[in-house]
Structure 1
Amino acid sequence: MTFERRDAARNAEPATGPVLSVRDLRTAFRTRSGWLPIVRGVSFDIAERETLAVVGESGSGKSVTALSIMRLLDRASSRIEGSVRIDGRELVGLPEAEMREMRGRAMGMVFQEAMTSLNPLLTVGDQIAEVLEIHRLQEGAAAREEAVRLLERVRIPGARARAMDHPHALSGGMRQRVMIALALACRPRLLIADEPTTALDVTIQSQILQLIKELQREEGMGVLFITHDMGVVAEIADRTVVMLGGEVVESDETDAIFAGARHPYTRALLAAVPRLGSRGVGSGPEHFPLVDRASGELRPARPQPDTVDRQAEPVLQVRNLVKRFDLRSGFFAKVTGRVHAVENVSFDLRAGETLSLVGESGCGKSTTGRAVMRLVEPNSGTVRVAGADLVGLEARRLRDVRRHIQMIFQDPFASLNPRIPVGAAVAEPFLTHRMGTRAEARAKVADLLGRVGLDPSAASRFPQQFSGGQRQRICIARALALDPKVIVADESVSGLDVSIKAQVINLLMELQASLGISYLFISHDMAVVERISHQIAVMYLGEIVEIGPAGSVFSSPQHPYTRRLISAVPVPDPARRREVRPVSNDEIKSPIRPADYEPPARRYRQVGENHLVQEWDGDWIP
């Protein structure tokens, strides 16, 4: 029977049971000491047009469950037992040749990081056409034409032209749409989405979630959605399975779980979800509520005392900061354009205050943080810390002033040397700046590790022996080693699980209260920003379009871009799940300008106390 006839026969037979049925799934990995169980007896069903969310923190076994269903684990080092059926056909024990046919035809998978899943040497159109040809659905020109149709189906504007692009030429959101097009190429019965929106900005995340819901309704697919974000679960899932330590600890309708979760771990995940609008106008930052996993008792949110003296001199003063990157081409490498990454940015940060820079990827917020630190050289402007202007300082003097301003990066593992113990990493800046003896450094390390909630004995261990949240605590301890006045935190919690994120943010706020530290907090997570900030600056195309007190900006956003960011935040309310909103194709515009371009002078108007908004002409188009 040809593949086409087999497809026709399959489509002609009405589905009589679940699309996916998993029973007593057990997965183990081979180690030196024997087989290590990772997934322990997981069972669930997914019906046609149903979305099941599998949630849990890193290490809970949710991604291994998905890879076990797809049979993508190394057969030499893994063992899969139990039953996995697609439309009644057993996959466990299926010969690899037949399993390859099932992948794509019966099941499609979207991974978290699209860039590592796409071939950088092939255009996106060729990659989709390749899938069609492998499964003998289309060939040659017909396959390429079908690839364009699939790109149109996932709402990629200018699909015919974009099909000729390589992955690096697309934004993160567009690359994720390409991954969805690849997964849907063979019209599978089941779509498995493994953390597909974790690395995306809030507006792009909203677009991808709406797109999956729309395509599911059109194609009749079952969806297995893996995430650690309960806000996303509320947005997309009909039913939810909660995993901890490789086991299912709770399973129910999503509405029932949000209305009355039974297991302490589920309640902990729900309590840690940042809820936009939970902070009143005029109130200060507020800690996240946390649930003790053993007892299930809730430690309620508590407000952070607002002791900022706004009449005092700023500890960090930025004025008219500009950073542009030259683009060169031709034999003589002539400057043909510039990336206007940061354009005329100004703000003040006072002792004990948190100012958050927010916006989508490409808005210039991270470049602003790096320019403030002089990790990239500003083109112009001033950055005053401890009475000195960092811009233009010679290297020795710059190193001395940097004692007062430190940085925490997004990826704690990449920030730590895997070859040296964490105690040595924390002590290194203290010793480099000759702030004391080695004995004093050891005492300082023990004190700092204790402050960030780690046992001082952990100083002798290496970074790979810690979890992601613990590694970020170590990076915070290292940033505190020089007793800085200001810490620049660049997406420092965006890669963490929701409950770990809540713990780290609470820690940052406690350190601020006890030490009087100021934070320049860079993030695209609006719900987190609302909770932690005193002041908020919204950035778009390298410029601040709105700045003011957090309560005022969130309760009364003035700029259209600010309103767009806030409206895109997932709301942890399952009642919204059935809303089908139009899928937007909007992307942030390019900051690349001609070499002779000079930005227009901007005007700001005051809309409240210390609340300024950039004026715009007519209908603002992002």
Structure 2
Amino acid sequence: MSLAETASQEVSGSTQPVLSVRNLTTSFKVENRWRPVVKDISFDVAPGETVAIVGESGSGKSVTSLSIMRLLPKNSSRVEGSVRLTGRELLTLPDEQMRQVRGNEISMIFQEPMTSLNPIFPIGKQIAEALTVHKDISKSEARAEVVRLLEKVRIPNAKDRYDEFPHQFSGGMRQRVMIAMALASKPKLLIADEPTTALDVTIQGQILDLIKTLQDEEGMSVLFITHDMGVVAEVADRTIVMFRGEAVETGPTGEIFLRGRHPYTRALLSAVPRLGSMADRKLPLRFPSISIETGEQVELQEVTDTVARNKLPIVDVRNLTTRFDIHSGLFGRKTGAVHAVEKVSFQLFEGETLALVGESGCGKSTTGRSVTRLITPTSGDVTIDGYNVLQLDKTSLRSMRRSIQMVFQDPFASLNPRMSIGSAVMEPYLEHRLGTKGQARDKAADLLEKVGLSADMMGRFPHEFSGGQRQRIAIARALMLDPKVIVADEAVSALDVSIKAQVCNLLLDLQQSLKLAYLFISHDMAVVERVSHRVAVMYLGEIVEIGPRAAVFENPQHSYTRKLMAAVPIPDPSRRGIKRNTAVDEIRSPIRPPGYVPPPRQYREVSAGHLVQVS
């Protein structure tokens, strides 16, 4: 039986589907030839049902949603097949009628709300516009309805926030604004394209709860597009797995998770880190490797202990404090300060991974940049490989940076698009005058091989590589100076699930062979549990809990640690419908008035090396 026939049979009873897609094929014109990127996709979405389209970057899932909405450029794209909304064909609908369908009968929310919100207009007016375009209502009626919608999506003080601008909202609150805008005309179908990918884990949990609640209240259908199998398990009734533009498997979500047949489905599921899977393990563990072509699993390789505990720490941080002054008014007087990092202390040993975890704005990235002195700290002591970092002049600072290197979240932003990747990897070696150009080329070729690329790629440019490959290039470049410490700042956060697993395995392999120490900065608790020896949880610039990974994950003591762990999506379809009921609070502001003195902090030792801040 074909997937199209299966899709049509899976719509319950004789109820007409809200959305019926048949033989959808979308092609783009490349060098005067039509290249199909979505190939013969068929599925239905029933009333009140959530269908997830899951796959990695390049699988065609977002192009599928844009094809349904007819948002692709006409001159360079071609959409064939049939897309019916409650029986009405959309692909042949005149443009003016299709404009009435968008935002009225079908609404869409995107991954990054700031690309959809106009920064120069208050959010209330932007939502009101979505109402007045489709309905004949007065300004006062529109304002009242917008306030009601903002309250519906659980935005505190909705009436007061009507006239605020997008930049005055956090990422999670901006996504709530987008959902309010999408719901303004009570659509029959909501298309959610990666709506939680860019959000912190607690905010992601709140948005997933919100979509479930609103679906119950409004009875709308949802087409949910994501690469996160944990999210799929929590929201989807049925799942379509896409790979290289094709639907390779479709069925009830429980069936997909328990008895996934296609090798790619099994590969996606195996790459999802499951919180709690490291119970009774003291050391990090590599992610399982499954062949996308055959579905065969490569056995997990145990990671041996490389931590040199009887030596002096390679990184020793004491009372690190970093603040940013705020100046305002006509004369630019200091009116406050952002207390980004407040008296943070930790040690890092050779061969060890210490993870700094917390939500955006907690100070973890500023801590990493302060330790490497990419940002100048306000006070404290930092010692790296014998260097007193805060006392170094320019020459000594340059030498110190051979010992510690950073790998950032977005490798494309840190690679020069006009420089070949061979030149980019060789650059630090040549800048530090560590050898000849020939020696640099040989070392760069060796490192590219070590990170899973080939030396003959050195002449290519960054745009010719995938996101995962670019991250491997960034890691190779960081290794050119033979550092002892690598600060990985959200280095795997933006990667697809299987690529994330590959890069994490690479980092573990390099740690084994080179005895590297990692300061692993992340908000992904499930990944942190897999790769770390010790964990430090940060909130509002302070470490609130620190200890061995097993101690922190199996016996979390601080309320914020427990909140982070409770918000992690779990790839278990039996949790479908469960709501976390997390409090809808934006993270508190770290801005303090001039002269503010933080209260002294006390820590209680729960077990050996496991410390928790006493409130």
Q: Quickly name the TM-score band, shorter chain normalised.
A: over 0.9
**Residues 322, 345 of structure 1: 8 Å contact kept:** yes
- Any residues of structure 2 matched to 1:333-344 within 5 Å, and which? 333-344=332-343
Q: Is the Cα–Cα contact under 8 Å of residues 195 and 226 in structure 1 kept in the other structure?
A: yes
> Could you tell me which residue of structure 1 aligns to residue 597 of structure 2?
598
Q: 1:126: Cα distance to partner?
A: 0.5
AA matched with 2:178:
M
The question of 1:390 aligning with 2:385 is answered no
Shift in Å, 1:145 = 1.5
Secondary structure class of the residue paired with 1:206? helix
Q: 1:313 to 1:581 in 2, by over 3 A?
A: closer
Q: Which residue does 2:220 correspond to in 1?
A: 221
Distance in 2 of aligned mates of 1:438 and 1:375: 27
Q: Report what 1:266 is aligned to.
A: 265
Deviations 1:234-285 (A, max 9, x none): 0111100000111000001000011011000000000000001111245100
Map of 2:57 onto structure 1: 58
* Counterpart in the other structure of 1:255: 254
Cα distance in 2 for partners of 1:249, 1:516 equals 41
Q: Distance in 1 between matches of 2:499 and 2:137?
A: 47
1:434 is aligned to: 433
Match of 1:208 in 2: 207
Query: Per-residue deviation at 1:16?
Result: 4.2
The whole-number CA distance in structure 1 between the counterparts of 2:233 and 2:517 is 34
The alignment partner of 1:262 has SS state of coil
In 2 relative to 1, CA 362–137 (structure 1 residues): closer, same or farther, beyond 3 Å?
farther
Instruction: Give CA-to-partner distance per residue, 1:351-386, whole Å, 9 cap, x none.
Output: 000000000011000110111111111000111112
The reply to whether residue 187 of structure 1 matches residue 186 of structure 2 is: yes
CA distance in 2, matches of 1:365, 1:151: 31
Alignment partners' CA distance in 2, 1:59 and 1:108: 23
Pairwise CA distance, 1:174: 0.2
CA deviation after TM superposition for structure 1 residue 134, in Å: 1.1
Match of 1:360 in 2: 359
Shift of 1:582: 2.6
Question: What secondary structure does 2:292 align onto?
Answer: coil
In structure 1, the residue corresponding to 2:611 is in which secondary structure? strand
Counterpart residue number, 1:346: 345
Question: Which one-letter code corresponds to 1:224 in the other structure?
Answer: L
SS, match of residue 552 in structure 1? helix
For structure 1, the 5+ residue unaligned runs are 1-14, 617-622
- 1:43-82 equivalent positions in 2, closer than 5 A: 43-82=42-81
Q: Distance in 2 between the 1:109 and 1:225 partners?
A: 10
Q: Does 1:156 align with 2:193?
A: no
Change (3 A) 1:86 1:152: same
SS of 2:576's partner is: helix
Letter in 2 for 1:484: P
Residue 450 (structure 2) pairs with residue 451 (structure 1): yes
Partner-residue secondary structure (3-state), 1:578: coil
CA distance in 1, matches of 2:104, 2:196: 24
Aligned to 2:3: none
Q: Deviations over 1:269-324 (max 9, x none)?
A: 00000001111245100011121111110123333112312221011111110001
1:211 touches 1:583 (CA, 8 Å); kept in 2? no
Quote the residue 2:413 is aligned against. Answer: 414
2:402 is paired with a residue whose SS is: helix
CA distance in 1, matches of 2:321, 2:523: 21
Distance 1:374 1:144 in 2: 49
* 1:125-136 equivalence runs, <5 A: 125-136=124-135
Q: Is the 8 A contact 1:413 1:471 kept in 2?
A: yes
Matching residue of 1:12: none
Matches within 5 A, 1:302-381: 302-381=301-380
Q: Which residue of 2 aligns with 1:425?
A: 424
Q: Which residue of 1 aligns with 2:298?
A: 299
Q: Does the CA-based 8 Å contact 2:212-2:235 persist in structure 1?
A: yes
Q: Which runs of 4+ in 1 moved over 4 A?
A: none
Partners of 2:168 and 2:315 in 1: how far apart?
36
> How far apart are 1:137 and its partner, in Å?
4.3
Q: Is 1:276 aligned to 2:275, yes or no?
A: yes
Kindly indicate whether the alpha-carbon contact (under 8 Å) linking 1:264 and 1:295 is maintained by their aligned counterparts in 2.
yes
- The answer (yes or no) to whether the contact 2:536–2:546 under 8 Å persists in 1 is yes
- Secondary structure of the 1:85 match is strand
Shift of 1:394: 1.2
Structure-2 separation of matches of 1:428 and 1:107: 50
Q: Which residue number corresponds to residue 284 of structure 2?
A: 285
Q: Distance in 1 between the 2:72 and 2:335 partners?
A: 48
Look up the SS of the partner of 1:410 in the other structure. coil
Q: Distance in 1 between matches of 2:304 and 2:154?
A: 47
How far apart, in 2, do the equivalents of 1:82 and 1:513 lie? 52
**For the Cα contact (< 8 Å) 1:288–1:300, is it kept in 2?**
no
CA distance in 1, matches of 2:533, 2:582: 33
Q: Is 1:147 aligned with 2:165?
A: no
Distance 2:425 2:179 in 1: 42
Farther-moved stretch of structure 1 (127-136 vs 267-276):
127-136
What root-mean-square deviation, in Å, do the aligned CA atoms of Structure 1 and Structure 2 show? 1.0
> What amino acid does structure 2 have at the position aligned with 1:289?
P
Question: Partners of 1:534 and 1:482 in 2: how far apart?
Answer: 25
Question: What code does the residue aligned with 2:338 have?
Answer: V
What is the Cα deviation at residue 580 of structure 1?
3.4
Whether the aligned pair in 2 keeps the contact of 1:132 and 1:139 (CA below 8 Å) is no
Q: Does structure 1 conserve the Cα–Cα contact (< 8 Å) formed by 2:306 and 2:515?
A: no
Corresponding residue number in structure 2 for 1:469: 468
Amino acid across the alignment from 2:19: L
Match of 1:243 in 2: 242
Residue type of the alignment partner of 1:234: A
Identity rate, percent: 63
CA distance in 1, matches of 2:301, 2:275: 16
Give the Cα separation in 1 of the matches to 2:395 and 2:82.
Answer: 65
Distance 2:35 2:543 in 1: 51
Aligned to 1:9: none
Q: 2:306 and 2:405 mapped to 1: Cα distance?
A: 22
Q: CA deviation at 1:32?
A: 1.3
Letter in 1 for 2:330: F
- Offset, 1:336: 0.9
Report what 2:510 is aligned to.
511
Q: Residue by residue, what CA displacement relative to the aligned partner does 1:179-217 show, whole Å, maximum 9, x if unpaired?
A: 000111000000000000001010000000010000001
> The residue matched to 1:104 in structure 2 has which SS?
coil
Question: Structure 2: which 5+ residue stretches go unaligned?
Answer: 1-13
Q: Which moved more, 1:279-288 or 1:537-546?
A: 279-288
Say whether residues 1:41 and 2:36 are aligned partners. no
Alpha-carbon shift at residue 407 of structure 1 (Å):
0.2
Is the Cα–Cα contact under 8 Å of residues 282 and 552 in structure 1 kept in the other structure?
A: no
